[in-house]
Amino acid sequence: MTTDYRAGEPAADGQRSQGEGSGSVTIAYIAEAAGVSIPTVSKVLNRRTGVSDQTRARVEALITLHGYRKPIANRSNTVELLFRELESMWATEVIRGVERVARKHRFGLTVTELASRDGQATTVDDTINRRPNCVVSVAQLTSAERAQLHAKGIPLIVFDPVDELPDDVPFVGTTNFRGGHTATRHLLELGHRRIAMITGPDHPVCLTRKAGYLSALADAGVTADPTLLVQASLVREHGHAAALELLARSDRPTAICTTNDMQALGVYQAARELGLSVPDDLSVVGFDDLPIVAWVEPPLTTVHQPLTEMAVAATELALTLGRGEEVSQAGVEIATTLTVRGSTAPPKHGIPRKGKAGSK
């Protein structure tokens, strides 16, 4: 599914892009002949670092031998924003940031969902056919999909990557370790010692937030209890199930950190079902700071992930590459901060009491 949020204006003179080489010789052919990747050939063509002298000489010799040139090809005056699925609540914050920058630079914005709908899937090929000036991808593209964009000279910025990326793939992310550490330290400073964490899938973002939690406990001299770590998907229903498991214990935790806000909303639901009050019986800290969590009761204390600011930075970076300019660093991380609201308080003294299941 593809949505045009603003009509792009005609491309200005000089707003051009790389494409395939003359005749039958393409950048992919040069890469295969040289025994290197397409991004490596792209680096040589654009005189970028990160290529050995020997490899550079081999690629340049093949370029000369085959008369390969970077042709001038029209690109639309549009930024394309890729999602795998548009079901995440924070997608609106990302779209808002990208649209703000696109509008400032008088670019159009196309939002594309790559997930299959009604048996019809949108692919990166469709994006390439639209010839956007640049791409900001929230979707975690495969190496082959990234290579397709490289081959067509379409700059790509990855938004908040969940997997390790090659060094030459630029991205904008956030300080996940710091966020997990700050959330846990806040609870420790309130006096909590039995602090559980509902973790997420085993990808770098979630693992780094968990590492911040463990580091804060260690800094405070608190031994981490592995039974207080429960893994769950990043959705409310799984946060609810994980919280029921933790809160059913006779020595239940006095506080729970979650990997995202949706899990935290599941913790709220579980606490209500067990007759527990937030924050009197249980403190809860989320991660993301979605707009909705300021309106739940009590308002959620959460790690603010600056989604709109990240989207602004990613789009500015993408447009810089779209102009053919170098960027000072491939990876940018924007700091998280803790937003303290009403879901955290000092723990009660004595042994935590269990609520009665099903009570209100």
Q: Kindly provide the b/e burial profile for residues 327-345, where b requires at least 16 CB atoms within 10 angstroms of the residue's own CB.
A: eeeeebbbebebbebebbb
119's CB contacts (< 8 A; 6+ apart) are none
Confidence of residue 192 (pLDDT cuts 50, 70, 90): very high
Predicted confidence (pLDDT) per residue in 74-92, tens digit: 678 899 999 988 766 778 8
Q: Which CATH superfamily is domain 176-306 in?
A: Response regulator (3.40.50.2300)
20-66, CATH topology level:
434 Repressor (Amino-terminal Domain) (1.10.260)
pLDDT at residue 8 above 70? no
Dihedral, CA atoms, 320, 323, 329, 332, nearest 10 degrees? 30
pTM of this structure = 0.72
Q: How many H-runs (helices) and E-runs (strands) does the chain carry?
A: 11, 15
pLDDT at residue 360 above 60? no
Confidence of residue 322 (pLDDT cuts 50, 70, 90): confident
Separation between Cα atoms, residue 15 and residue 298, nearest integer Å = 51
pLDDT at residue 138 above 70? yes
Residue spans of the domains in the chain: they are 20-66, 176-306
